[in-house]
Amino acid sequence: MVIILCSCAIIAIAPFAVVRAVSHEWLLAALDSGIVVGMIIILILALRTGRIKLASIILSVFYTSVGVIMVHLQPNTLIYWVYPISIANFFILPARYAGIINLAALAALTPLTNHFKDSLEFFELMVTLLLVNIFAWVFSWRAEDQRQQLQQQATIDPLTGIGNRRKLSQYLETKTIDQTAVFSGSVVLVDLDNFKEINDTYGHNQGDVVLQKVANIIHGRLRANNDEVYRYGGEEFLLLLHKTDMAGAIRVAESLRLEIEKFFTEQTPSLTASFGCAEHQPKETWNHWIKRADQALYQAKDSGRNCVRPLPTELDTIE
């Protein structure tokens, strides 16, 4: 939106700068030119740094401030520019920030009542501007609420209520795990042993119940606001243990293995789980890290299941 807004504004405002310069309206021409140059700078900032949020705030404050100044210089004709400015703020900023900036702009316009011959006309303009802001705020709030709902549906496993593989990928990519200063910890892969037999024998509904119970057991054993669990596959779970070395990951995995075994010993069907652990290594990409945990899980399966297997830390373990 920042890129689109900047591009459209540059194209729309540049001709006004030329026309006003030809008409010898030097101050307004200079302000129009300043807007164009400022938006070009902000556009370059956004493209080069990728700091879209910062660029959005700077952009909004910049063109809103210049717009208010121009309205003060020529209120009768330029006040109508406040309408697109107000709406644009809601497109590029969260509703609360856009609302604050727009209310500040409206407050800065209140001294202009003396510039209008009919005070009722100015009052009507201010009321309509306020209504436009209210409607834009409601629309922005509803759009953000729907976006969050869609985001949750796309990243939360509907059966277990925990994050899915998409959410895990998004999280790891934002952490840029190839930088050791950004993340340190271990990953544990959990695979339910012989889960297909449970589905075949007791039905998929019972299999869903088992998955929900296992998810609850794992979630209950993790450190609040520190560790995370994701449903990684059909009967696979992935634990992301922050600031946890291999020894700590093994302890967590063994504790969960015993708890799952104990819980389902008295249940029908009975169930066990296999675990693979891998500690994150310097300059290791996240997909390579999870592959090492997956290799450890295969070792657990080959060792008879219902056990924990760590993987050596050498990065050349996986070809």
**Distance in angstroms (rounded) separating the CA atoms of residues 82 and 280:** 53
Backbone torsions φ then ψ of 308, nearest 5 degrees: -115, 135
- Report the SS3 class of residue 66: helix
Give CA torsion, residues 234, 240, 245, 246, to 10 deg: 0
Annotated active-site residue in 25, 144, 235, 266 = 235
280 is written with which tokens? 């994150």
Q: Which of 166, 202, 145, 189 is nearest to 301 (CA)?
A: 189
Say whether 235 is catalytic. yes
Question: Could you give the C-alpha distances from 33 to 2, 47, 206, 238, 258, in angstroms and in order?
Answer: 19, 21, 68, 55, 71
123 is written with which tokens? 């009052």
Dihedral (CA of 49, 52, 53, 55) sign: positive
Catalytically active residues, by annotation? 235
